[in-house]
Structure 1
Amino acid sequence: MEFLPQIAFLIIVATASFFLYKRITQIRKNIFLGKPAGRTDNTYERWKTMLLVAFGQQKMFKRIVPAFLHLLIYTGFLVINLEVLEFVIDGLAGTHRIFAPYLGDFYTVLINIFEFLSVAVLFSCFAFLIRRNVMKVKRFSGEEMRKWPTLDANLILVIEIILMFAILTMNATDSLIQGQDDHYAQTGTFFFSSFLIPLFEGMSVSTLIFVERFAWWFHIIGILGFAIYVTYSKHLHIAMAFPNTWYSNLEQKGKIENMPVVTNEVKMMLGMPTEGVNEPPAEIARFGAKDVNDLSWVNIMNAYSCTECGRCTSQCPANMTGKKLSPRKIMMATRDRAEEVGASLAKGGKGLEDGKSLLGDFIIKEEINACTSCNACVEACPINIDPLSIILEMRRYVSMEESAAPASWNGMFQNIETSFSPWKFAPTDRFNWAQDLKKES
């Protein structure tokens, strides 16, 4: 019976690790439903981008209030998790606050820092709950945010609040037990948890130990459960933000990549040198994207990294004028489709052959046609997600595979093909407007 807690702890950690590994493996398979993407160039710039944008929260501070609140939670998440190391060692070794005797007074300072951050996280979580549910900040609403996305956002905040209270409860009861049980090391005074001590004064030592142990187990199980839950939640960005920013598109925001096979065809028609001229032309399975397998794996990774914060949609000029387009919904729909296909394939189902597709069943033409290609959504995203690249690929499919672009677009395409401009007049007449300027001068 002496080693029963350690055995129970080991079983819980092993079980959580198994489910976490299984889920991460499935997400990886879902992401690699997409086509290859060459994003390994300029490694220095990529590391710099990741450190500034993901680790440094650079783009968050365009909105100072949510940025400050997010910084408190982010810092708390990084630092408080250092205490989890002690939890794990204590759980495996059957010890209690194993670092306390070695660190002495510095241990007290560390725990007080952890408690300060716990209170900061509590403050931020309550503030975010008020912003979402009382102030009803507009960017947190929208058709795509009904039911589960809104519940998910609130649920994660509540879970974080409960976990922080568990830490403070554990420390408060621990302080009362010290001196009454030799197993509990002397750690000095913990400032913030001391305010909870009056709630537990008068309890017997056995009751205090039960509450302290319950809070300890609740916190570590909560952390492990939270880690698994996050992989099904928008809060997956906690981990995905780092690779997502590393694989960012480093080109200028206004640059739209051409399709290499189409570029080569045009160059051949114009008698210009082409890439791979000695190679036979590759057979193109599909122009543009109809389903997730037509996108690049970076596009799908973007979808899994989406924080659903709504900054992209709030900055979208098409959305501002009442159009159906919501860049956030584009990313959520892409993730949902990848999840659906991946889950089907994992069960031996039809996968991509289920009669559905990303374009049509998850995203409609009215949405992608409303896009102005302005890159406002890309610029607004705090972790460099690129909804525009997905929209452009679906537009290419509609125009080149279905020949179903809007009539006004077809007229523009024809003018570009024949007159080399969107307007229907001869190239020789292009500068006629300047003649009047010469007369005036």
Structure 2
Amino acid sequence: MSILSNILFAVILIVGVGYFARNVKKLIRNIKLGQDIDRSDNPSERWKNMAMIALGQSKMVKRPVAGFLHILVYLGFVIINIEVLEIIIDGLFGTHRIFRFLGGFYNVLIGSFEILAFLVLVAVIVFWIRRNVVKIQRFWKPEMQGFPKNDANYILYFEMVLMTLFLVMNAADFHLQHIPSEVAHYHQAGSFPISQFIAPVFDGMSNGLVILIERGAWWLHICGILVFLNYLYFSKHLHILLAFPNTYFANLNPLGKFNNLESVTNEVKLMMDPSADPFAAPANPDAVPAKFGASDVQDLNWVQLLNAYTCTECGRCTSSCPANLTGKKLSPRKIMMDTRDRLEEVGKNIDANGGKFVDDGKSLLNDYITPEELWACTTCNACVEECPVNISPLSIIVDMRRYLVMEQSAAPMELNNMMSNIENNGAPWPYSQMDRLNWKNE
């Protein structure tokens, strides 16, 4: 490669990585808009969760076909991208296959990369067929129309193109390694168990044309990786990066255990303090009173916002939700997608107003998520159990319900009747304690 090519490569690399870093900074800023919560307890259990669930894909394989295919794609991308390091070094310094000094081990590496690339290509094609030909139901829910539907396909096309470019690049390289010494730049290095079957396509072509194809595939492959990297921020595939912190900071409490709201606890303590003056002016008159529950993304905690960005939109939560299965409007996946969309809207508001949020008259409640959706939830935790990266849509639903009940007194009539019965009769049923056992005499 010429010096000009090296400089061009360095510029592309700096721009690509720089834009990605800028978006990561924005992502962290948005997540920090959430309320503080302590998730530093039991670090050994948290590391174990991250190793088993994010790295080991233990929850993915509960659905064996999709789980196995996902593991192929996951392993393929993680291991094949080791070669990106070699490509970067070659691009910056004008070398070619700089790691060939590893000898036999290098052959094993390249051979493994090729087999994995082929398996990734097969798996991605199967994923595309499942989504677009077989049309598995969970991929065709109402919330998956428009960009979410296209986004899933864009990623599949990206992966197909990247793997194809990788194999074409290697096939051309293999061809050039086995022709007379006038193409001395292409040293014999690597093992090519897949691309050697593609290489005969180049027989009869001029050396210059094959070099052009090899270089073109090389440039398109690395540029494609940088484009893919920067597309992650706008895509559901952000979970590639966020699955690790998300599983680490997941709630370790038993499913179904509710937390006490600190704001409610403080109110109760104040009411029970005989020396407290309920009419006293607040110590800080500028302080915003604590809100019971959540009506917008800033009221949620930062782990819940991390959950929203981590959502893979796989639909396992929705496909196992009893409310959704019986025709209710609730979709746990939509809850996470709406939270992320509103958070992005808030982030853009902050960017447009010099780093400060200006009230836009909108909120997560009502503008994105309706009370009908929230009250359809049975709190069974099926969505939490099914999520392959330990997301909890239920925690967001419960916090928004709390807001409806404690801030707006907007509980459904059925719930108010039940509460009245508990208050008056000591049970959810509309019978006095004296009449409760009358059924046995009938």
Change over 3 Å in CA distance of 1:390–1:352 after alignment to 2: farther
TM-score, normalization by structure 1: 0.92
Residue 106 (structure 2) aligns with: 107
* Separation of aligned partners in 2, 1:73 and 1:352: 42
Deviates more, 1:38-47 or 1:346-355: 346-355
Q: Deviations over 1:223-248 (max 9, x none)?
A: 11100001110000000000000000
Residue 377 (structure 2) aligns with: 371
* Separation of aligned partners in 2, 1:71 and 1:216: 26
Q: Deviations over 1:295-319 (max 9, x none)?
A: 0011110000000000000000000
Could you tell me how far 1:191 is from its partner in structure 2?
1.4
* Separation of aligned partners in 2, 1:139 and 1:290: 28
The 5 A counterparts of 1:3-402 are 3-100=3-100, 102-178=101-177, 179-180=180-181, 181-187=183-189, 189-263=191-265, 265-266=267-268, 284-348=289-353, 351=357, 353-402=359-408
Residue 2 (structure 1) aligns with: 2
Residue type of the partner of 2:379? Answer: S
Q: Deviations over 1:67-115 (max 9, x none)?
A: 0000000000110011111001111111000111x11222122111000
Q: Which runs of 5+ in 1 are unaligned?
A: 273-278
User: Contact between 2:166 and 2:217, CA under 8 Å: does it hold in 1?
Assistant: yes
Could you tell me how far 1:354 is from its partner in structure 2?
0.4
Residue 279 (structure 2) aligns with: none
Q: Deviations over 1:244-274 (max 9, x none)?
A: 00000000001111213424555777899xx
Change over 3 Å in CA distance of 1:13–1:283 after alignment to 2: closer
User: Contact between 2:421 and 2:430, CA under 8 Å: does it hold in 1?
Assistant: yes
Q: Deviations over 1:23-60 (max 9, x none)?
A: 11111111111110111111111101111111110111
Secondary structure of the corresponding residue to residue 99 of structure 1: helix
* Separation of aligned partners in 2, 1:253 and 1:33: 26
Secondary structure of the corresponding residue to residue 328 of structure 2: coil
User: Contact between 2:59 and 2:388, CA under 8 Å: does it hold in 1?
Assistant: yes
Q: Deviations over 1:354-404 (max 9, x none)?
A: 011000101111100100011000000000000001001111111111111
Q: Which runs of 5+ in 2 are unaligned?
A: 275-281
* Separation of aligned partners in 2, 1:142 and 1:266: 43
Secondary structure of the corresponding residue to residue 198 of structure 2: helix
* Separation of aligned partners in 2, 1:40 and 1:368: 30
Residue type of the partner of 2:188? Answer: Q
TM-score, normalization by structure 2: 0.92
Residue 410 (structure 2) aligns with: 404
Secondary structure of the corresponding residue to residue 377 of structure 2: coil
Residue type of the partner of 2:141? Answer: G
* Separation of aligned partners in 1, 2:113 and 2:426: 64
Secondary structure of the corresponding residue to residue 231 of structure 1: helix
Deviates more, 1:393-402 or 1:179-188: 179-188
Change over 3 Å in CA distance of 1:113–1:90 after alignment to 2: same
Change over 3 Å in CA distance of 1:188–1:304 after alignment to 2: closer
Secondary structure of the corresponding residue to residue 234 of structure 2: coil
Residue type of the partner of 2:317? Answer: C
* Separation of aligned partners in 2, 1:308 and 1:352: 30
Could you tell me how far 1:352 is from its partner in structure 2?
5.4
Change over 3 Å in CA distance of 1:138–1:12 after alignment to 2: same
* Separation of aligned partners in 1, 2:348 and 2:203: 52
* Separation of aligned partners in 1, 2:358 and 2:372: 23
User: Contact between 2:243 and 2:389, CA under 8 Å: does it hold in 1?
Assistant: yes
* Separation of aligned partners in 1, 2:212 and 2:308: 44
Would you say how many aligned residue pairs link Structure 1 and Structure 2? 428
* Separation of aligned partners in 2, 1:425 and 1:263: 32
Residue type of the partner of 1:185? Answer: H
User: Contact between 2:110 and 2:190, CA under 8 Å: does it hold in 1?
Assistant: no
Residue type of the partner of 2:204? Answer: G
Change over 3 Å in CA distance of 1:261–1:429 after alignment to 2: farther
Residue type of the partner of 1:341? Answer: V
* Separation of aligned partners in 1, 2:434 and 2:107: 81
Could you tell me how far 1:416 is from its partner in structure 2?
3.3
Could you tell me how far 1:433 is from its partner in structure 2?
3.6
Change over 3 Å in CA distance of 1:345–1:161 after alignment to 2: same
* Separation of aligned partners in 1, 2:168 and 2:342: 42
Q: Deviations over 1:389-434 (max 9, x none)?
A: 10011111111111111111112223334444323455x659x649
Runs of 4+ in 1 over 2 A off after TM superposition: 260-272, 279-285, 349-352, 413-426, 432-436
Residue type of the partner of 1:294? Answer: D
Q: Deviations over 1:11-34 (max 9, x none)?
A: 001001111011111111111111
Secondary structure of the corresponding residue to residue 290 of structure 1: coil
Residue type of the partner of 1:128? Answer: F
* Separation of aligned partners in 2, 1:323 and 1:111: 51
